[in-house]
Chain A
Amino acid sequence: MKYVVLLKQVYDTETKITLDANGTISNSGITLIMNPYDEYAVEEALRLKEKGEGEVTVVSAGGQQVQDALRQALAMGADKAVLVDSEGADLDEYATAIILAKAIENIGFDVILGGFRAIDDGSAQVAGRVAEILKVPVVNVITKLEVEGSQATATREIEGGSEVVEVSLPAVFTAQKGLNEPRYPSMKGIMKAKKKPMDKKTLADLGLDNDQIAARVKPISFSLPEARKAGRVIPGEPGQAAAELAKLLREEAKVI
């Protein structure tokens, strides 16, 4: 079985966001982490592989610094990594998906896993788009996955509940929290990871030219919203304060 995991490196959630001189998001002084939802995807691929046999490849499109996140996945137990260097290209989700799909075609695949959403500027669409390009079915926001031969059964979150969906492989699945508890890389894992293959590819290596990955969506302007201001603390005994709050919500804020 060939397991492929789509892995995005994202800004750490604590990162302070600033704009640079061009008015775009500045990337100075930021810490980068593996997208938390992709950690679930890596873990799931490893568990599936450990039940039988196969190979787990992690794939990313991004700059050279993405190697850190890929190494982390290798240290967790993935077998090899593919990094498509897209540094400097203006990619939207359409373009990113085309690049990833091309890379995956070269690797071969039975099960493709990704996060359901990237927590930075993510939009919950890259993995679904990859499925569409590769002409395989997708099951999004899954919290459980079972693979039997060439059939997979996934439980996915829907509003107000869940549903159980069956698909034939190959297929794409996107991970939601609850799918598993990702392991931490062991010391041994980290040592081993250094020797595992990190295949670096350029867009040209994949046979992609600029026309093929022309972004559909174009940003116009970025801004930093004004922080919310602290309001009013209502003084008094608990009962008094609660009564006052009820009144203010009705008469001043007019929200009830």
Chain B
Amino acid sequence: MAKGIWVFAEQREGQIKKVTYELLSEGRQMADQLGEELCAVLVGKDVAEMAGSLGEYGADKVLVVENEALENYTTDGYTNAIAELIRQNEPSAFLLGCTVTGRDLAAQLAQRLETGLMTDCTGMEIADGQLVFTRPIYAGKATVRAACPEARPVMATIRPNTFVAVANAKTAEVVKAAVDPGNIRQVIKDIVRQISERPELTEADIVISGGRGIKSPENFKVLEELADVLGGAVGASRAAVDAGWISHSYQVGQTGKTVSPVLYIACGISGAIQHLAGMSSAKCIVAINKDEEANIFNVADYGIVGDIFDIVPVLTEELKKITA
């Protein structure tokens, strides 16, 4: 009998990703309703000391897999180790954040275990005793509720910022598991990190995006200053990316990143359907655009019709005062 809801505790360089805490918090409630155990799976090299915080967010147990070969994420290493762990323990569900790593691992693992996987979900509920997931499809123009009735574990990746992380100061039982990372066919030759003080775009609570209206790469500074006052991330429309003003990794939309922040400020972005696909699940949308007819105003909670360069610097100053 499959038992236990498992959450992938994604970490990078000694930091647990926020989405992990979000999944544990929501997973806690599901586990209680189903009468199952909530277990976090923490994989890497020397990661055991990070296990404590996972209990605080709801895990009953933390399974720790430590291995030299698992220092950096590789598809094979993580899939081999976690697949073995799952075969030994037979959990009923395995949840991951919909991040670059979560997506990569989930697909591989799901096929290894010959099970079903629902990706980029924005909702999770229990119906008729089973976990049911909601996912936006067709660029958010429709949603589907789906389940994996038979195969176990049921797997899902959940979009960051979907659930709220709530700490409750519990302590989890920490269990070290010895599983074999096996033969790793992907050899990592180099890792290049852009040094940024700002939060990761897909996980940020606040995102300030610029479009064609920004007009030059230098002008992104105006948005960066606003982002820094709010502790937010900077994003862009495809027009700004295609113009070469900012790299593609900042693109928000159907062929870019999907973001789900609490606050999204669109500056000089017209609001094309493909852009909306990447940000319409934001809780509050602000539009700053000099064209009052721009489509972005049809989805924005607050709008200002006017020039970015007149408005944003003042907004930054005002917010600096408020948040001081």
Contacts and interface: CB of A to CB of B under 8 A. Distances in A.
Interface of A: 11, 13-17, 19, 25, 36-37, 92-94, 97, 119-121, 123-129, 131-133, 137-141, 153, 157-168, 171, 176-178, 215-225, 227-228, 230-234, 238-239, 241-243, 245-250, 253, 255-256
A223 B306 contact: no
A160 to B, nearest CB: 6
Nearest to B320: A246
B306 A241 contact: yes
Contact of B193 (A97, A160, A166, A176): A160
A231 B101 contact: no
A133 B108 CA distance: 10
10 contacts: A19-B142, A94-B116, A120-B138, A165-B187, A216-B150, A218-B147, A219-B145, A221-B144, A231-B285, A239-B314
Interface of B: 12, 72-73, 75-76, 99-101, 103-104, 106-108, 110-112, 114-120, 127, 132, 135-151, 185-194, 196, 200, 202, 206, 230, 248-249, 251, 254-256, 262-263, 273-274, 277, 280, 283-286, 292, 297-307, 310-312, 314-315, 318-319, 322-323
A159 B254 contact: no
B146 A219 contact: yes
B255 A140 contact: no
A115 to B, nearest CB: 10
Given A17-B142, A129-B111, A161-B191, 11 more contacts: A125-B110, A160-B200, A161-B194, A218-B148, A219-B145, A220-B132, A220-B145, A222-B145, A224-B143, A231-B300, A256-B230
A128 B262 contact: no
A124 B119 contact: yes
A238 B314 contact: yes
Contact of A234 (B187, B188, B249, B304): B304
B303 A234 contact: yes
B138 A241 contact: no
A160 B202 CA distance: 10
A146 B293 CA distance: 46
B63 to A, nearest CB: 23
A65 B261 CA distance: 38
Contacts, number: 259
A14 B302 CA distance: 25
B118 A165 contact: no
B143 A140 contact: no
A102 B312 CA distance: 55
Given A165-B187, A216-B151, A256 B111 contact: no
Given A230-B299, A231-B300, A125 B107 contact: yes
Contacts of A127: 107
A133 B137 CA distance: 26
Contacts of B298: 228, 230
Nearest to A154: B186
Contacts of A13: 139, 254, 273-274, 277
Most buried by B among A139, A242, A246: A242
B263 A249 contact: yes
B116 A128 contact: no
Contact of A216 (B116, B200, B262): B116
Nearest to A97: B111
A128 B111 CA distance: 8
A141 B274 CA distance: 20
Contacts of A176: 248
B186 A139 contact: yes
Contacts of B136: 225
A153 B111 contact: no
B111 A94 contact: yes
Contacts of A166: 186-189
Given A123-B118, A132-B108, A216-B148, A228 B185 contact: no
A164 B188 contact: yes
Nearest to A19: B142
B131 to A, nearest CB: 12
B192 A162 contact: yes
B322 A230 contact: no
Nearest to B202: A159
Given A164-B190, A241-B311, A177 B248 contact: yes
A25 B138 CA distance: 10
A216 B147 CA distance: 9
A141 B257 CA distance: 12
A124 B105 CA distance: 11
